[in-house]
Amino acid sequence: DAKKNGKNQAIFCSEDMKEDVQKRMLLSNALHQALERNELFLQYQPQVRVSSQEIIGFEALIRWKHPEFGIISPAVFIPIAEESGLINRIGEWVLLTACAQNKEWQDRGFKPVQMAVNLSVKQFQSGYLDSIVKSALEKTGLTPRYLELEITEGIVMKESKYVIKSLHALKDLGVSISIDDFGTEFSSLSRLKDLPVDRIKIDMKFIQEIAVNSKDEAVIAVMIYLAKRLGLKIIAEGVETEVQLAFLKDEGCDEIQGYYYYKPLSANEINRGILDLLIK
Ligand code: C2E
Ligand code: MG
Ligand code: MG
Ligand code: MG
């Protein structure tokens, strides 16, 4: 019986895998056309300083509106773009679009804030990252300090040699660096002090354990303390509830990104609704 089950499982498994490969190939082909066909767009999720209720920045998050499949999550298509190498062109487009949007809001007289852009490890491997960032800033006229580049903790810790070299080159341009999804790797606490970074973003997985798991709460408290002692800024990602917010405030984390305040919004939604919150 066990043997029979095992056999069935193997069959299901390989059918699933075949479907999976086909789907990825389909998406990979479609993704090549997505840029030209303007199917990619950015949403912007506001970041809030709790004590003053001000918007202090945005994170640019990419979306793909496929004509047949609808909206596809970056969690699905970014890995596919990385595999095919297309991530470099997509990443360049994200940088240009996000910088241009931030500059446009500044030109309209709103208080200047930072725009954060996510980077893929493949963009570091290209060897051109700093010149691509430099040219995005020059083309859009955005002052470097209003651009923040996000790199995940996993990338910094695993690919340290060339990544750290690039991070220094990027810092030299005057942009800020933050470590995304912080707390999910093990080896990082002691190495954080040597990295050219300005801010850490506490991973949502920890935030979800607030009021659920006191050990995760302890880890959050230590991350906040560590950031302060190292002179780094810290922001909590994925904050959804009043209880989570109260805990973070109590522990001294005053900057928040999450559905509690705002979901990622289109530029139009921001134009219509919340830009007045940026006025000093
Ligand atoms: P990330 O950079 O860690 O972005 C945060 C994710 O958490 C976003 O998902 C955001 O919509 C979601 N989020 C924010 N607040 C909340 C909340 O309160 N509750 C919940 N449940 N979710 C929240 P999204 O937009 O689906 O992006 C997923 C990941 O895809 C990003 O994680 C990032 O790693 C990657 N990504 C997005 N845009 C880009 C891009 O332009 N380039 C690259 N290389 N990666 C990107
Ligand atoms: Mg991010
Ligand atoms: Mg994150
Ligand atoms: Mg993530």
Nearest protein CA to atom 16 of ligand 1, as residue: 238
- For 99, 170, 224, 229, the CA distances from 202, given in Å and listed in that order, are 24, 22, 9, 16
pTM of the model: 0.92
Provide the token pair at 124.
């570091």
Ligand 4 geometric centre to CA of 21 (Å): 23
Which tens digits make up the pLDDT trace of 26-70?
A: 888 999 999 889 999 999 999 999 999 999 999 999 999 999 989
Pairing of strands 147-152, 114-118: parallel
Which tens digits make up the pLDDT trace of 176-234?
A: 999 999 988 766 677 888 889 999 999 999 999 999 999 999 999 999 999 999 999 99
Ligand 2 geometric centre to CA of 150 (Å): 6
Ligand 1 geometric centre to CA of 238 (Å): 9
The reply to whether ligand 1 has any atom less than 6 angstroms from the CB of 42 is no
Long-range contacts of 3-7 (CB under 8 A, 24+ apart): none
Nearest protein CA to atom 8 of ligand 1, as residue: 61
Q: What is the DSSP letter of 240?
A: -
Nearest protein CA to atom 33 of ligand 1, as residue: 118
State whether ipTM is beyond 0.95.
Answer: yes
